[in-house]
Amino acid sequence: MRYINPHRVIAVKMVTPEDNPLVTDNSRLMDVWFDAGAVVRHEMFKKVRKEEQEALAALLLQRGFVQSGRLSLDPRGVLFAEMEHELVGGIVTIGYQENGKPVELKVSGAAFGELVALLNGAAG
């Protein structure tokens, strides 16, 4: 059994059998980025069941996460974002590692637009 605190998650990328043929319903992967105070921590979880992935995804969507393909991102965790091109998407910075390097995630153009609209709405 595993427990991932959804309130500390700021981004998660879920790998499914459609993404990787070596993954099954009982051995899926999840890359999870956690808000650990001053730094962002990244963990890869192996052998995640389909039900675990779907339950976490549903909970994060309820919390207002934005989806870009298999990546779900908390708009409140975004420090800054830069659009490369509307068709290509953009880069979102969600924090820094202990070594000071930024944690950057690539998002689609549609997700970038949704993120910016949410962030602009939150500011007003």
- Report the pLDDT value the prediction gives residue 44, as an integer from 0 to 100: 95
- Report the pLDDT value the prediction gives residue 93, as an integer from 0 to 100: 94
- Give the list of residues 6+ apart from residue 13 with CB closer than 8 angstroms, or none: 30, 31, 70, 71, 72
Two structure tokens written together for 100: 């000071």
Distance CA 91, CA 121 (A): 20
User: Which pTM does this prediction carry?
Assistant: 0.87
Residues of the chain with pLDDT under 70: 122-124
- Report the pLDDT value the prediction gives residue 91, as an integer from 0 to 100: 92
Paired residues of 35 in beta bridges: 40
